[in-house]
Amino acid sequence: EIFCLNLDNVFNLFTIFSLIKIIRRYSIGIIHTHLPTADFLGAISARLSGRRKVISSIYGMNFLPLTYTGVERIRKLVLSSCYRLIYLMFDRLISVSHAVKIDLIKRPGIKVNAGKVTVINNPGDTRIYKSYITRKQVSCAIEYDIGVFANFYKIPVLKNI
């Protein structure tokens, strides 16, 4: 069965209550989310529907404020903190690389427990993408200085089908 829900607004109470109803109706025991909106709605709905296992797959360094200044930098820092608060509701976080895991556990602000994070690398040869990455992106990552970025090229998403 397929359910179509409005994901335009993470604060849409109708969507949250619809998810709670679906979770309870089908006795869903594990909620596995992908991407920020699903993470927020899934975690809140799972917890409000009763104790469920909640897992998120994390594909990138969400809301990383490296190259931003002024108001946009402050916005990214606030979003980063809010997003990390949501991670506290998850039982397990699946990271697609060791670099993403290190970002999760070492980024300034709200820390994610390293014991919650499991690395499952995306399949595929990422070396073929190096030509698409700019030098500026790599230097920004090195400036972030958490120790793993010198030879790291970030691939936003490699989707498993």
Q: Which of helix, strand or coil describes residue 111? A: coil
Burial status of residue 82 (CB atoms within 10 A of its CB: 0-12, 13-18, 19 or more)? middle
Tens of pLDDT, residue by residue, the chain (161 residues): 888 888 777 788 999 999 999 999 988 889 999 888 889 899 999 999 987 799 999 888 878 777 888 998 898 888 888 888 888 999 999 998 888 899 888 888 788 899 999 998 876 555 555 554 544 444 444 344 334 433 444 333 333 33
Rounded CA-CA distance 123/110 in Å is 30
